[in-house]
Structure 1
Amino acid sequence: MQYSSSQIHFLSLFLLLIIVPSYFSFPLGHNHNPEEPPVLDHHQKTYTGHNFLRPYPTILRTSRRELITASASSKVVFNVHDFGAQANGGDDTKAFRNAWKKACSNSEGKTVELVVPKNRNYHIKPITFSGPCKSQVTFKIYGTIKASPFLLDYERDSSHWIMFENLQNFKVEGAGTGIINGNGRKWWENSCKVNESLPCTSAPTAVTFYQCNNLDVANLRFQNAQRMHLTFQKCALVKVLNLIITAPGNSPNTDGIHVTETQDIRINSCRIRTGDDCISIVSGSRNVQASDITCGPGHGISIGSLGAENSEAQVSDVVVSRANLIGTTNGLRIKTWQGGSGYAKNIRFENVLMHNVTNPIIIDQHYCDQEKPCQDQASAVKVSGVVYQNVKGTSASKVAVNFDCSERFGCQEILVQDVNIVPLNDEGITTASCQNVGLRDRGIVSPKCSSQK
């Protein structure tokens, strides 16, 4: 029997409709989501997302695209020991420098880790870790990095010990065991603030991040910095989390975290015990948030100093929230030099507890930290838009609130709301001293300014 061409075409289509669905075993009436991607069950080697019952064909198990994706998401790990670090009391600077060069220049993986092993002590001289790097680098410090104690090692640069500069998408993590020790005792002994017969000279900041963007620093311990422990300079998009920073209460200029010319920085869950400001925020800094901070001993949390040597300063949009200050010489402080210009504005201190703090709330526009007395000057950094909300605790001095503002500009738009600071051990009363300040009170406020300009 012969078939016409149209009949042959019809029979071919009929057989195709019967055989193909049967072979691939599509269940009738399966109501899957067409946008749901298939999920590979590695135990059954079947695709469960679309309910395929047959194993995925071996020839298609690893596509070229999957190979490229796997390669791009791979991680490359370098260990400082592989580059000669001994952790035996000798100088490991060269090993760290070579390990960094290799890690920063590596482009084989999407992410690169540089590891400092746990339970080891490494001694290094001043060093700079420079970018940009070819991949996202994470510096994992599980052991201890300790500074050289020899002052002559800092002849080339007496201002920095460890410097990270020009890095993007960079992380430094310590998993709670990593320690950066500035070994600062010799520097403190040679400070004019400890021995007034000595000339005043600079000392190195322990760790400086310079021009770094999208930066994370987390779960580390910093100890005994030569000067400041940790500085962020000209950085942006910074997260600082779970740091423990310690130095003796009499160690000079050992600020915990110093923020300068930096925008969009978040400092969270840090414990800071030093000889100077726990956190200091100076000119060029904007959108700074510090929360869950435990501070003391030290000089408290400070905006400034600003305007030194008749300079211009700008600080704005600062929030300090959920801070606990214990035994500090200052609590919440804004300090500016006479003769400066610019502004400090939009600053909020909220939900703060204090215990045994000498100057709990202070704005000092006559700040003077030099041997010679500062001369009176008309110009000043303008201070405005400052809020103190829900601040409570005990004061070690009679004057718990001190607004000492400039005669020419004064402090404007200062709001004190629900503030209650009582004497330590309930002895006597606390007072407020207010000069040249535009002030508003809300809620229960004690002590109150009796008069303000």
Structure 2
Amino acid sequence: MQIEGTIVAPDEPKNWDPKNSRNWLDFSNLTKVLFQGGGVIDGSGGKWWAASCKKNKSNPCKGAPTALTIDSSSAISVKGLTIQNSQQMHFVISRSNSIRVFNVKVSAPEDSPNTDGIHITASTNVILQNCKIGTGDDCISIVNASSNIKMKTIYCGPGHGISIGSLGKDNSIGIVENIVLDNAFLRASTNGLRIKTWQGGSGYVRAVRYQNVMMQDVSNPIIIDQFYCDSPSACQNQTSAVAISQIMYRNISGTSRSQKAMKFACSDTVPCTHIVLNNINLQRKDGTVETYCNSAAGFGYGYVQPSAECLSSSDKDNINKPEEEEEYFIHTEL
């Protein structure tokens, strides 16, 4: 599939087919297909954004089209495309296996609502490499039933960071495992490396490795939030939660906009376990930084700034045995 020039979506929402209001360019049930070219996919999203309830609370909350969707497919490569100004999400990979995305650029204004860059759901064996993403929502979002995802050489900003989740909404099951981010630069994003889950969910996030990441002026560089609540009304306290374990952060450095450069806000009944920090150096231009912990177990070794002493640890025997950590996390290498 060779894409050259610019493909432009209709810019008037009322001209959209109401029976197919969530999709624009949708490819499904493909095997061994290459999408390539220097072309641009332009969603003309301005009027959709203006009608969003996130822009104006008096507007009704409803979905808008995704610019490009690859669904129920396998052995797909996407190379060199630019996707911009999507009505809602830019590029969704859904229910697919063995997907390779290289040299893709995603671009939308910082204030465009719900415009995730690359969204991965119910997919496995996905590689994202050399991608530059700046949007009004998550640069990359990975949600339920996704595993074996490797992201390498990723530029993110503006946006809401590189996120796992949200998971567990409406008491649902969320399962994400074997995720690697290696070599990334995040600039002026509202979050850096984020895992977000709703109270009341179940399932797990495990075997995640973030390494070689530079942050510049990022509000929440490292954050696990098991109390995520993207709702106009307060979310009800619930005891069940998506379990989070085996999360490694290695060689993470840069500047934080907020005082809490690392935040591990975990469930009292389903604590986060085996969080490992190695060679962390996060600073703040005009003040000190700190780590916040609630029901989070793990430890740091090597240089860790700010200190993560607030992490409780059931793994103290391993603190001086980083080689055991290598063995423990080896299966996250893809």
TM-score (norm 2): 0.92
1:432 aligns with 2:294: no
Whichever residue aligns with residue 173 of structure 1, its letter is: Q
Gaps (5+ residues) in structure 1?
Answer: 1-138
What secondary structure sits across from 1:392 in the alignment?
A: strand
Report the equivalent of 2:323: none
**1:173-212 map, 5 Å:** 173-174=36-37, 177-212=38-73
1:224 aligns with 2:85: yes
Query: Given the alignment, which residue of 363, 372, 375 partners 2:233?
Result: 372
What is the CA–CA distance in structure 2 between the aligned matches of 1:440 and 1:307, rounded to whole Å? 26
Query: Given the alignment, which residue of 115, 120, 145 partners 2:7?
Result: 145
Task: Check conservation: 2:193, 2:222, Cα contact below 8 A.
Answer: yes
What is the CA–CA distance in structure 1 between the aligned matches of 2:287 and 2:71, rounded to whole Å? 48
What secondary structure sits across from 1:198 in the alignment?
A: coil
Whichever residue aligns with residue 22 of structure 2, its letter is: S
**1:250-399 map, 5 Å:** 250-399=111-260
What secondary structure sits across from 1:366 in the alignment?
A: coil
What secondary structure sits across from 1:142 in the alignment?
A: coil
Cα deviation for residue 148 of structure 1 reads 1.1
What is the CA–CA distance in structure 2 between the aligned matches of 1:373 and 1:448, rounded to whole Å? 32
What is the CA–CA distance in structure 1 between the aligned matches of 2:199 and 2:75, rounded to whole Å? 36
Cα deviation for residue 158 of structure 1 reads 1.0
Cα deviation for residue 368 of structure 1 reads 0.2
Cα deviation for residue 450 of structure 1 reads 3.6
Whichever residue aligns with residue 229 of structure 1, its letter is: H
Task: Check conservation: 2:90, 2:106, Cα contact below 8 A.
Answer: yes
What secondary structure sits across from 1:352 in the alignment?
A: strand
Report the equivalent of 1:404: 265
Report the equivalent of 2:94: 233
**1:55-204 map, 5 Å:** 139-151=1-13, 152-174=15-37, 177-204=38-65
What is the CA–CA distance in structure 2 between the aligned matches of 1:333 and 1:428, rounded to whole Å? 23
Cα deviation for residue 171 of structure 1 reads 1.1
Q: Deviations over 1:87-130 (max 9, x none)?
A: xxxxxxxxxxxxxxxxxxxxxxxxxxxxxxxxxxxxxxxxxxxx
Task: Check conservation: 2:300, 2:308, Cα contact below 8 A.
Answer: no
Cα deviation for residue 449 of structure 1 reads 2.6
Cα deviation for residue 420 of structure 1 reads 0.6
**Which has the higher Rg, Structure 1 or Structure 2?**
1
Report the equivalent of 2:302: 443
Report the equivalent of 1:45: none
Cα deviation for residue 237 of structure 1 reads 0.5
What is the CA–CA distance in structure 2 between the aligned matches of 1:447 and 1:191, rounded to whole Å? 38
Cα deviation for residue 363 of structure 1 reads 0.2
Cα deviation for residue 397 of structure 1 reads 0.8
Q: Deviations over 1:240-267 (max 9, x none)?
A: 0001110000000000000000000000
Cα deviation for residue 451 of structure 1 reads 2.3
Cα deviation for residue 196 of structure 1 reads 1.2
What secondary structure sits across from 2:49 in the alignment?
A: helix
Q: Which protein has greater RCO, CA pairs closer than 8 Å, 6+ apart?
A: 2
What is the CA–CA distance in structure 2 between the aligned matches of 1:390 and 1:412, rounded to whole Å? 20
What is the CA–CA distance in structure 2 between the aligned matches of 1:210 and 1:428, rounded to whole Å? 47
Report the equivalent of 1:452: 311
What is the CA–CA distance in structure 1 between the aligned matches of 2:311 and 2:127, rounded to whole Å? 34
What is the CA–CA distance in structure 2 between the aligned matches of 1:336 and 1:237, rounded to whole Å? 26
What is the CA–CA distance in structure 2 between the aligned matches of 1:388 and 1:153, rounded to whole Å? 44
Query: Given the alignment, which residue of 193, 207, 215 partners 2:76?
Result: 215
Whichever residue aligns with residue 288 of structure 2, its letter is: I
Cα deviation for residue 340 of structure 1 reads 0.2
Q: Deviations over 1:152-203 (max 9, x none)?
A: 32312111111000000011101xx300000100100000100111111111
What is the CA–CA distance in structure 2 between the aligned matches of 1:419 and 1:392, rounded to whole Å? 6
What is the CA–CA distance in structure 2 between the aligned matches of 1:142 and 1:153, rounded to whole Å? 24
Gaps (5+ residues) in structure 2?
Answer: 313-334
What is the CA–CA distance in structure 1 between the aligned matches of 2:310 and 2:56, rounded to whole Å? 42
Runs of 4+, deviation exceeding 2 Å: 449-453
Q: Which has the higher helix share?
A: 1
Cα deviation for residue 440 of structure 1 reads 1.0
Q: What's the % identity of the aligned pairs?
A: 44
What is the CA–CA distance in structure 1 between the aligned matches of 2:39 and 2:298, rounded to whole Å? 46
Instruction: Give the number of equivalent residue pairs.
Output: 311
What is the CA–CA distance in structure 2 between the aligned matches of 1:289 and 1:399, rounded to whole Å? 27
